Each structure stands twice: as structure tokens, then as C-alpha cells.
Structure 1
Amino acid sequence: MDTTGIHDEALARLHCSGPERLGRLSNHAPMAVEALAARGRAAAVHHWLDLYARKLEDFPAGHARVTHANWPQALGDPRRAADWIAYFRELLAQRPWRDVLAEWWPRLLPGMYGGSTHPVIRVGHAVRGLLAGGGGDAETVDATAPRLVELAHGLGYWAARHHPAPAVLPLPEAADAVRALHAVPPIGVRTEASRSASRASRTCPGGRRRR
């Protein structure tokens, strides 16, 4: 448990940054600083964050407000990350965080695969941070405000990247593991052209590759 306040300081630094970079890579910093603090390495947090900061991007712009009425239409739209985070910040300002989490994790669970499961992992770190910081209920909200905001960021990222898995299709029985593996349809084959396009998308104007 971090009693130095460094965990909260680091989260406050990070909440000006977006949940992703390059449109697809998750921001690992909130999870890393929570893990460092939880393992008794809070003294290393700011130095680590200084090194990671070059990978952070600005917080994204909002598009349209998420509300109690329109949230199903906004679910799974990564362009709405800022809108979702704002929505959860409102909810967490009005209700205990445990109540918000209990209402929303069943809604979000079917789409936990979006963002390579990083959103749900971020929520897990946020919850552990809240539990370690006094619970985050109304009487301790001042002491844990950055951790409540972190939960809003995690839930908002999860909602924006919500991506349910396709239906599971039964496969015929196989005599051994090799035949069973061969019966699984491939997701797709990456050609050299697709790899070249991917590399080009990561190159900034002037030929300098993005970090």
C-alpha cells in the first residue's frame, strides 16, 4: 500500500493523456504505476513515468455527450473514448464507485476483448488502487479523487473499445491435437503488402518513424 501520495500524483499526471497512442496501442502507464505502488516501489514511479512520457498522447477530443438514454449507441465506438470517460466521471461523482462498477461490469463484460483486453485490465488496477486507498466512498472522496478518476478512465476506455467475441462455432471431433488444430479456420494471412502498409502507417512525414 502506498502511503506517500505518489500513486495519486502519478495518476493526476496521466489523466491529461489519452488511453491509447497511434490509434491502437494502449497506454500502459496507469497500470504500471499502480503495480509499482502496490509492490512497495512508489519511489520509482515518477522516474519511470518520466521515461515513459514520450509514448503518451494528448487526451482525445470529445464528439457528443454520452447519456443514460444514448449509451447503447455509443458502446464500442473508439472515437467516443473522451465522451465515455466524461460520462463515468459524472456517475462516479454522483454515486459510490462500487455501485457504478456493479451496474456496469456486467454490461461491459461481453466486450472485454476490445483493446486486447487492456481496458478491463486497467479497470482491475484502478479497483485495486481504490481498495488500497481507503475505498473511495463519499467520506474519503477527497483522498482518493485521482483513483476515482482513474476508474472513470478505465471504464470509459472499456466502453469505447467494447468488442464482443463472435459466436463460438462447434468443430468436428478430431483424433488428435494436430488434426484438431488444422480444423480451426485461420483468422487471416498477412501478406508482405499488408506488412508494408502497416509499417508505412507508423512512419511520420519526412520518413521519421513514430515512437
Structure 2
Amino acid sequence: MTHGAMAEFLPAAYERLHAYGPEFGGDEEGNHGLTNHGPMAVEVMVRRGLDVDVEAWLDRYVRRLAELPGTSAPIRPGEWRSALGQARRLPDWAAYFRHELTERPWRDVLAEWWPRLLPGIVAGSTHGVIRVGHAVRALCGTSAAPARQTLDELAHGLAFWAARHRELAGVVAPEGALTPRRALPAVTRLTDQSGFIAHRLDRLERSPGWTASLRALEPAASAEEVPARLESLVDAAAEAYLGLGHGSPVLLVHAATAPNAVRHVLPVLPSEQWLPSLTAAWAAVSAVIATYAPARPAPSAEIARRWPEPTREDALQRAAEHGDEHVLKFADTAVEAYDRTGDPDLLAATLHAGALIGRP
């Protein structure tokens, strides 16, 4: 899709979606619900120019969503720490960031809030950072002045991340010798992989192998190495889905899409934030793998042979025909990894995701 078409259609889709909250379902406190992927999936469909009737997709999707509640009390600039992780303050956070983004350039707001939110990268099963990443891609994807609705989408993404902020204990910077391809399978799995992600993360922080798994990755020697290191991490996580995806087809998609979101935000961040971003991205990937990936992978090569010689166009088109938001986001990420590496297993992984995840 051209920049002009993206600039015209995407804001209208965002306008429609912003009547709804970032989650739906869950208990009376709003916990353990499902994430509204509408804005993220639509950004992929529009940017990729996929052969999808986006309006019809939205007609179907919004029927599942819950309306965004009204605000309760303003978040004051000097009081934001006490509101972090307060799910009921989500509408207040959205109002706060909408105001910030009308007062200052969006890159300045993001640079201020990225290091504040980064320790809570697992917020909302990593969907906070992913939604921000897609919003940044939309903002960077047009040469025109940002549309109000696209800035609002960044506000909603930041608000979700802030309201669901959840820091992981035991996070340390990488200091080992393993490449991402070798470090991923070495992540220690939780013995008890039961319950909601919040319960699993509580157990993860108490598990003996958690911090050691984080240390095992080879560090970047400088900020300049971080983009390539993140790309390698995305590539390894996307390919690993072939052997791991059956363990939790939906959750394990995020082992690739979360670090990819971080990778795409890097260019608009000060370079001094890049090394901490790699540490956080690796912690997010490791947390997803530790809490959801099976201890015994399936035979990846055998699974890849089920889809002989797929093309990137075929992978994207099949994702479009499938229609599930996770399949769309994973295909977007894995095809990008394929464009970097030429590894056909990454295309097979997108088709495997479509086979594991039910059609909507």
C-alpha cells in the first residue's frame, strides 16, 4: 500500500478501534483477559497491502471487544510512578498520553517514557511494547504530518503498557557466549507451566535457572551492535516456533513479535537506550520461552518439510486468508526475518502457525 493510502485508511481504522479498550473478557478486576489486537493487525494488513477486506475484518473483530471505560482522575506529571501497573487507571493513562502527544513531538514523548516503561516489558503478555512498536511503524510510514488518530494510537499503546506495567525480578544483562540461536533452546523451562501468565511469571522469578538463562546470551559490545543483535534474536525466535509452537501456539508467537517491536522502535530512540532495550527484549523472549515452550521440541526439519518451497508472497497471502490476528503479526515478523536471511524455514514457520492457530 502506498504511503498515501496508508495515511488515509489507517487513521480511520484507528478512530473506530479507539472506542474500545486494550483488553476484553477477564475477571471483575479486568485481569486474565484477552488483548485487543485490532490496531496491530490492521497496521500489518495496511502496511503490507494484504488482499484483505479490512472493513469486513474490523466488522467481525470489534464484536468481541469491550468499550473503553471513562476516566476517573487525571495522572499528574509528578505522580506517574504511583499509577504504574494500575489497570483501573488505563483510561487516565490514555488521556495523559493523548495530552502529552498534543503538547510535544511524539519522538520526545517516546524517548522520555521508553526507559520508564522498559522494565515492565512483559506488561499485558508483551502486548504493550508490541502495540507501541506497530504505532511507531505507522508514524514512521508516512511522510506527512502525523494524523491525530495515529498519535492517539501511540497514546493507547503507551497507556496499556503503563497500566499493565509489571517488572520482572532477577533481570540481568547478558554476559555469556551463546548466540541467540543457541541461547533460546538453553532457556530453562518452568517445571509447572500451568495457570495464567501472571501466575507463571511469579513462579519464573523464583526459579533457579531464570537469571542464569538471561546471563547466557552473548552481550552486544556497543550500542551500534544492538540492531543486528535484536534481528538475530527475532530470526532465532521465529524459526524456533517450528519446534516449539505446539506448546502454546498463540503465546509463543510473542517470542518473535516482542523483540521485533523493540527493533523497530530503536531508530527513533537515543542510542544510549539501545543496550537496555536489548536486555529487556531478551528478558521478554526468555520469559515467554520459559513459561510456555515445551521442554522437548518437536522435529523442526520434519515440520518444515510439510510446506515445500513456500514463497514469501504465499506466506503473507495465506496469513491474510487465515485472518487470525496472531497469524498476521507473526507472518509479518517472520517474512521480514526471511527477507534478511533467505532462510525458508521462516516461511514454513508462518504456515505452521496458521495450522496450529484456529481460524476466527
* Same-fold call, TM cutoff 0.5: yes
Please tell me the TM-score bracket, short chain as reference: 0.7 to 0.9
Deviation at 1:120, TM superposition (A): 0.6
**What residue is the counterpart of 1:17 in the other structure?**
20
**Contact 2:97–2:159 (CA under 8 A) maintained in structure 1:** yes
Whole-angstrom distance in 2 between the partners of 1:17 and 1:184: 35
Q: Quickly say closer, same or farther: Cα 1:186–1:61, change in 2 above 3 A.
A: farther
**Contact 1:62–1:82 (CA under 8 A) maintained in structure 2:** yes
- Among 109, 115, 124, the residue aligned to 2:118: 109
**What one-letter code is carried by the residue in structure 2 that aligns with 1:3?**
G
Where structure 1 has 5 or more consecutive residues not aligned to the other structure, the ranges are 170-179, 191-211
- Among 149, 153, 157, the residue aligned to 2:156: 153
- Among 120, 138, 161, the residue aligned to 1:129: 138
Higher relative contact order (Cα pairs below 8 Å, separated by 6+ residues): 1
Deviation at 1:187, TM superposition (A): 5.2
SS of 1:113's equivalent in the other structure is: coil
What TM-score does the superposition give when structure 1 sets the normalisation length?
A: 0.75
Aligned length: 173
**Contact 1:6–1:43 (CA under 8 A) maintained in structure 2:** no
Pairing of 1:34-73 with structure 2 (within 5 A): 34-41=43-50, 44-73=53-82
- Among 73, 86, 89, the residue aligned to 1:80: 89
Q: State percent identity of aligned pairs.
A: 49
Instruction: Note the alpha carbon deviations across 1:3-53, whole angstroms, 9 max, x for none.
Output: 231111100101111111013211000001000011013862211111111
**Contact 1:2–1:40 (CA under 8 A) maintained in structure 2:** no
**What one-letter code is carried by the residue in structure 2 that aligns with 1:107?**
R
**What one-letter code is carried by the residue in structure 2 that aligns with 1:105?**
W
- Among 33, 38, 41, the residue aligned to 1:32: 41
Runs of 4+ in 1 over 3 A off after TM superposition: 183-190
**What one-letter code is carried by the residue in structure 2 that aligns with 1:78?**
A
**What one-letter code is carried by the residue in structure 2 that aligns with 1:95?**
R
SS of 1:64's equivalent in the other structure is: coil
Aligned-residue Cα RMSD (Å) equals: 2.2
Whole-angstrom distance in 1 between the partners of 2:151 and 2:40: 14
Deviation at 1:2, TM superposition (A): 4.5
Deviation at 1:77, TM superposition (A): 0.7
Whole-angstrom distance in 2 between the partners of 1:167 and 1:153: 29
**What residue is the counterpart of 2:170 in the other structure?**
167
- Among 80, 93, 98, the residue aligned to 2:102: 93
Instruction: Note the alpha carbon deviations across 1:57-81, whole angstroms, 9 max, x for none.
Output: 1012222211101100000111111
SS of 2:78's equivalent in the other structure is: coil
Whole-angstrom distance in 2 between the partners of 1:16 and 1:107: 27
Where structure 2 has 5 or more consecutive residues not aligned to the other structure, the ranges are 173-185, 196-360
Moved more, 120-129 or 49-58: 49-58
**What residue is the counterpart of 1:3 in the other structure?**
4
The structure in which a higher percent of residues are helix is: 2
Whole-angstrom distance in 2 between the partners of 1:121 and 1:12: 19
Whole-angstrom distance in 2 between the partners of 1:49 and 1:3: 21
